[in-house]
């Protein structure tokens, strides 16, 4: 007999359904479109998918706990993440956005599929005016915070589940934007999708498994129109364009970002980087485009960090030393610190370096070795390793020695990739005229902290700019212009992909960039 499961949220009973004996709680919840944060992809490593069972109140990892009988599950509130570009162009309160165009105008949707978040911009194709924006946390997140986790899931279980999730989510975001604006879905005639190559494969219904092993072969590099999937809220005969990708790990989000940043008319030298679980870097010098991808891992997303979390209420987003203690900026209105997100991690590490609490090798020093009041915030974890307590000493949010090492590895991968492209182009750091920090993380991080930990050269600081969600804006540009779509293909044709895994320069730079100044 199948076990009966009741799911509770803060508001009370949320769902009552039958499960299957032996399936994990995470599998049961995901099959009912209830998505927990599971950055490690259900491997039991991160501990972020914990739920409470009753009676008894036992807290368990949903990915490691099987249904064996009738079960009551208490889950956390749905994750509300701060998403770059989510309010861009949205109609103001009381404004009838649908009245902006003529009754017969056609509309389109530009969609940025990020590994972490998804954003959809509804746009009037005649006036090129954005009338509504909708967004959400990527519904695939329970299957891992990074693209490798999702490739591994697709290899083990097929890609059907992941494709269904992202298509269903896109359908919902388009419908939400239509509802906000008063535009009927039957008036949507064109859709542009930009995302990393894995996300575009899943949206197109292609398997990403070939990109997980040598020779890392994608099914497609896109740059073409594909038939919309069944059930898409759009006009009959609507066209769907997927932005061109350069390689398995430099996707349409990067070409769209370069389009938005007007790379074709930029002589350079310009360095463009989108920092996430997979750090994608492009460099333009003269008529030459160099691209690479670095496996930064999910640390900058707050995943697989002891107290790491996404940029949601309760996350420490910035840290400064002031008045004899760390001063914390916490997302949300009056929220108590519950963890630390990517921008806060950079600040915390920069603070530890500035105060001498972390040495050049990345070791958290013992309190008696530190000549700064921050020594009072250094304690021990259960394994006797030094940790840095952000709030109350001996409890609360902390950064461990293992966390510092993960950040160290991530920053070395990014910095090593930048240095490799500079060497490949024969360009010095001081010759770079523009450094573009793209994406949501690039918008929220403190540039000084990022340079302090060595994520990018300090010489880049005066020429750094953060234009926000470049992938979404590039997709919006391509949505309303056939010339822009042609430009995407021209840029893709000029791109030279630098494979870092076989680069002696990168291997040398990765080791060198592990050290802190």
Domain architecture of the chain: domains with CATH: 4-74 (3.10.20.740), 97-242 (3.30.420.480), 261-517 (no CATH)
Structural contact between residues 142 and 35, judged by C-beta atoms closer than 8 angstroms: yes
Give the pLDDT score at 511: 96
**DSSP state string for 207-223:** --GGGGSTT---S----
**DSSP state string for 357-386:** SB-TTSPBPPGGG--SGGGGGEEE-TTS-E
Strand partners, 119: 112, 135
Show the DSSP H helices in 24-74 as ranges. Answer: 25-31
Q: Which residue has the tokens 């460099």?
A: 283
Structural contact between residues 51 and 435, judged by C-beta atoms closer than 8 angstroms: no
> The pTM is what?
0.86
Query: What's the rounded Cα separation, in Å, for the pair 406 and 393?
Result: 23
Mean pLDDT by 10 residues, the chain (517 residues): 85 85 87 77 78 84 89 77 50 36 82 93 96 93 87 95 96 97 96 97 98 93 96 96 97 97 93 88 95 86 85 91 91 86 95 97 96 94 91 81 95 96 96 94 92 97 95 97 97 96 95 94
Q: Which residue has the tokens 């030393």?
A: 321
Give the pLDDT score at 90: 39
Report the DSSP pairing between strands 107-113 and 12-18. Answer: unpaired
Give the pLDDT score at 278: 78
Strand, coil or helix: 98: helix
Show the DSSP H helices in 158-251 as ranges. Answer: 160-181, 197-204
Exposed, middle or buried: residue 33 (CB in 10 Å: 0-12, 13-18, 19+)? exposed
Query: What's the rounded Cα separation, in Å, for the pair 346 and 290?
Result: 27
Structural contact between residues 41 and 23, judged by C-beta atoms closer than 8 angstroms: no
Instruction: Extract the tokens encoding 120.
Output: 């959809």
Instruction: Extract the tokens encoding 135.
Output: 């967004």
Give the pLDDT score at 93: 28
Show the DSSP H helices in 197-308 as ranges. Answer: 197-204, 252-260
Q: Residues for the chain: how many in total? A: 517
Angle at 28 between CA 23 and CA 31, to 5 degrees: 125
CB atoms within 10 A of CB 367: 14
Report the DSSP pairing between strands 325-330 and 288-294. Answer: unpaired
Query: What's the rounded Cα separation, in Å, for the pair 470 and 436?
Result: 10
Instruction: Extract the tokens encoding 148.
Output: 């490798």
Strand, coil or helix: 456: coil
Instruction: Extract the tokens encoding 517.
Output: 């100044």
């Amino acid at each position: 007999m199948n076990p009966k499961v009741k799911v509770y949220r803060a508001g009370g009973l949320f769902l009552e359904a039958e499960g299957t004996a032996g399936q994990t709680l995470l599998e049961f919840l995901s099959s009912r479109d209830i998505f927990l944060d599971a950055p490690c992809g259900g491997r039991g490593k991160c501990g972020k998918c914990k739920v409470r069972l009753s009676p008894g109140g036992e807290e368990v990892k949903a990915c490691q706990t099987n249904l064996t009988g009738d079960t009551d599950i208490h889950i956390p509130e749905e994750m509300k993440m701060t998403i770059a570009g989510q309010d861009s162009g949205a109609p103001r309160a009381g404004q009838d956005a649908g009245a902006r165009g003529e009754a017969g105008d056609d509309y389109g949707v530009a969609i940025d599929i990020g590994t972490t978040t998804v954003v959809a911009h509804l746009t009037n194709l005649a006036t090129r005016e954005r009338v509504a924006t909708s967004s959400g946390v990527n519904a695939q997140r329970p299957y891992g915070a990074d693209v490798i986790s999702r490739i591994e899931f697709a290899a083990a279980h097929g890609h059907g589940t992941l494709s269904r999730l992202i298509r269903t989510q896109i359908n919902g975001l388009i419908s939400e934007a239509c509802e906000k604006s008063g535009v009927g879905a039957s008036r949507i005639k064109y859709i542009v999708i930009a995302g990393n190559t894995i996300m575009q494969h899943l949206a197109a219904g292609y398997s990403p498994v070939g990109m997980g092993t040598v020779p890392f072969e994608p099914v497609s590099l896109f740059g073409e129109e594909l038939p919309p999937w069944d059930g898409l809220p759009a006009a009959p005969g609507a066209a769907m364009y997927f932005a061109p990708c350069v390689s398995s790990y430099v996707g349409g989000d990067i070409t769209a970002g370069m389009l938005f940043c007007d790379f074709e008319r930029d002589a350079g030298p310009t360095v463009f980087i989108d920092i996430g679980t997979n750090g994608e870097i492009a460099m333009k010098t003269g008529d030459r485009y160099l691209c690479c991808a670095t496996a930064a891992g999910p640390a900058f997303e707050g995943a697989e960090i002891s107290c790491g979390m996404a940029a949601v209420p309760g996350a420490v987003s910035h840290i400064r030393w002031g008045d004899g203690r760390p001063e914390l900026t916490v997302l949300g209105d009056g929220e108590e610190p519950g963890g630390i997100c990517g921008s806060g991690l950079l600040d915390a590490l920069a603070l530890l370096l500035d105060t001498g609490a972390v040495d050049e090798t990345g070791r958290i020093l013992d309190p008696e070795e530190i000549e700064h009041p921050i020594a009072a915030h250094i304690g021990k974890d259960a394994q006797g390793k030094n940790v840095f307590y952000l709030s109350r000493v001996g409890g609360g949010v902390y950064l461990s020695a293992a966390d510092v090492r993960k950040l160290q590895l991530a920053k070395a991968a990014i910095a090593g990739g930048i240095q490799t492209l500079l060497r490949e182009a024969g360009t010095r750091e001081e010759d770079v005229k523009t450094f573009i920090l793209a994406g949501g993380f690039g918008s929220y991080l403190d540039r000084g902290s990022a340079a302090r930990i060595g994520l990018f050269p300090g010489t880049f600081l005066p020429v750094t700019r953060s234009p926000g969600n470049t992938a979404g804006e590039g997709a919006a540009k391509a949505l309303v212009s056939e010339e822009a779509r042609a430009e995407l293909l021209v840029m893709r044709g000029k791109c030279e992909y630098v494979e870092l895994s076989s680069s002696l320069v990168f291997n040398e730079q990765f080791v060198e960039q592990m050290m802190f100044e």
